[in-house]
Amino acid sequence: MTLIDNMPAGSAHNARSPFHVGNRFDRISPMTSNGHAPHYRQRSAWFHAQSRFAVLVSSVLFIWPLAWPCNAQDVKPTTNTTTNSATAPSDTKEATERASETGPIRVIVAVPLTGARRTVGAAVRQRLSLVKSAIDAAGGVTRRELKLEFEDDACTREAARELATRITAMTPPPAAVIGHPCATASIAAAPLYQQAGVLFLAAGMRHPQLTEKRIGPLVFRAAGRDDRQGAEAGRRLHALAGNDRTALIINDRTVLTRALTKAASEAAAYGAKEAPTELTIISGETDYSKTIDEIARREPAAILFLGFPSEAAIILRQLRARGLQMPIIFNDAMASAEFIAHAGDLLESDVEVMMPISISRDALSESEMPDALVASDTAAALSVWADAVTATASTNALQIANNLSSPRSHIDEIGFDSAGDAVAPSFAPFRWRDNVWQRADLPQSPKGQ
């Protein structure tokens, strides 16, 4: 905090710099009570004569040594120890720029290290230690050391804004900020980074608002989006039903499931002979026999159910009891212990659940817990950033942003669209196998491998 910050309001203009020495007006003597200058300001003719004599003597004493001959060895060199104030700031700036171009590359990782979500920060720290070790073993980033600094945003708006303010004031600024997985923290910090020209990759942050109202070209989301579940469930429904067979979508009439239904229906209809049909239920009932009758009449090739665990388990049990064995997909609410307990062995009967996944290019066959999911997204963000630095041979924020937004030539490379969202799946289907959720859309390894 500066000196002015500690002063009362209205007194800022009276503050002195520590280097202030005043000016010629500060030394003008005050007037006396009768309006005249003090006696030492009144100069007599005798005073002026004395002054002229003093000047003459001083001149002679100054010139005399210069005229006296001397030997070269008698002359001792002097060293100017004063600093040229006109060039010092420029030299300091150039030295800072040279250090930022050749020294360690500093990346800030902003995660909750305290508070209720502190386990997220611990998971991220552990995962990034592995990523950094791999980068160091490969010779660093463009042969420069990578320096990761972990900072606490406490998963709150206020702490994140305070942290972003402190980061943007750093000299030199970090090459990038990665993290802020909590929605409120990320949305609060993003404008400050953009304004300061600091590249920001929001890792693990899935709320749509960050990129729906993107602040600027330096802000990216290194994570999936929660509002893409419907579309990706619809594409999976189409894959299971095929182009020439009918699919069915069931929802419980809530605002959320109606929105998911709309997105799923549009995605499933793409390339299909006809759009999926829809069927609604009333939540809270204990018998859905009439719904099962209607499903039997329509004979869909595959079903997408959008609702909650208790109703989902009842419909699944009644479907299988009727002998209807078509594949059925559930939304992510069914990735819960409640649904697993209610469904039991029926989970082995061609049942899939859509679950959030990381943008990481190293797809995992098993589902990840929320903390691990954020850690995977953060690791992916660091890797993508490092690749961009290598590709551009620069840490300049705009050059890196342009590289991240450019088209990718390989399907495994992570890119970003014009909104700053990662071009990668946000959800994937999982099946319950060997007491774990495993990817249903990836080749399965033989047991024991």
pLDDT in tens, 225-243: 999 999 999 999 999 999 9
Closest CA to 266 of 224, 228, 299: 228
CATH number of the domain that residue 234 is part of: 3.40.50.2300
Beta strand spans in 90-145 (E): 105-111
Residues 351 and 374 reside in one and the same domain: no
H/E segment holding residue 329:
strand 328-330
Residues 116 and 170 reside in one and the same domain: yes
Residues 378 and 294 reside in one and the same domain: no
Give the chain's domain count: 2
Residues 232 and 130 reside in one and the same domain: no
**274 CB contacts (<8 Å, ≥6 apart)?**
246
Distance CA 354, CA 360 (A): 17
Beta strand spans in 128-285 (E): 146-152, 176-179, 200-203, 219-222, 247-251, 277-280
Whether 16 is in a domain gets the answer: no
Residues 240 and 347 reside in one and the same domain: yes
Query: How does pLDDT run across 245-277, given as a tens digit for each residue?
Result: 999 999 999 999 999 999 999 999 998 889 999
Residues 254 and 213 reside in one and the same domain: no
Whether 13 is in a domain gets the answer: no
The answer to whether 231 and 426 are in contact (CB under 8 A) is: no
The strands making up 302-306's β-sheet, listed across from edge to edge, are 277-280, 247-251, 302-306, 328-330, 351-356, 427-433, 436-439
Domain that holds residue 113: 101-224+367-424
Of 307, 325, 355, the residue that ends a domain is 355
Indicate the pLDDT class of residue 74, thresholds 50, 70 and 90: very low
What mean pLDDT comes out for the span 352-378?
Answer: 93
Of 306, 325, 355, the residue that ends a domain is 355
The strands making up 176-179's β-sheet, listed across from edge to edge, are 146-152, 105-111, 176-179, 200-203, 219-222
Closest CA to 161 of 135, 138, 185: 185
Residues 215 and 232 reside in one and the same domain: no
Residues 342 and 267 reside in one and the same domain: yes
287 C-beta neighbours (distance < 10 Å), count: 9
What integer pLDDT is reported at residue 272 of this predicted model?
A: 87
Distance CA 172, CA 42 (A): 57
> Looking at the predicted structure, is the pLDDT value of residue 349 above 70?
yes
The answer to whether 330 and 415 are in contact (CB under 8 A) is: no
What mean pLDDT comes out for the span 324-347?
Answer: 95
Residues 335 and 414 reside in one and the same domain: no
H/E segment holding residue 436:
strand 436-439
Whether 45 is in a domain gets the answer: no
Whether 122 is in a domain gets the answer: yes
Which residues does residue 179 pair with via DSSP β-bridges, in sequence order? 110, 202
Distance CA 437, CA 333 (A): 14
Integer angstrom CA distances of residue 432 from 81, 120, 318, 336, 347: 76, 25, 19, 11, 6
Which residues does residue 148 pair with via DSSP β-bridges, in sequence order? 107
Of 312, 328, 355, the residue that ends a domain is 355
pTM strictly above 0.85 = no
Residues 351 and 232 reside in one and the same domain: yes
Integer angstrom CA distances of residue 391 from 306, 386, 415: 43, 9, 13
Indicate the pLDDT class of residue 197, thresholds 50, 70 and 90: very high
What integer pLDDT is reported at residue 53 of this predicted model?
A: 43
Residues 165 and 213 reside in one and the same domain: yes
Lowest model confidence (mean pLDDT) among 72-86, 195-209, 288-302: 72-86
Distance CA 25, CA 27 (A): 5
Residues 265 and 195 reside in one and the same domain: no
Whether 63 is in a domain gets the answer: no
> Looking at the predicted structure, is the pLDDT value of residue 385 above 50?
yes
Whether 348 is in a domain gets the answer: yes
Integer angstrom CA distances of residue 17 from 5, 13, 124: 13, 11, 44
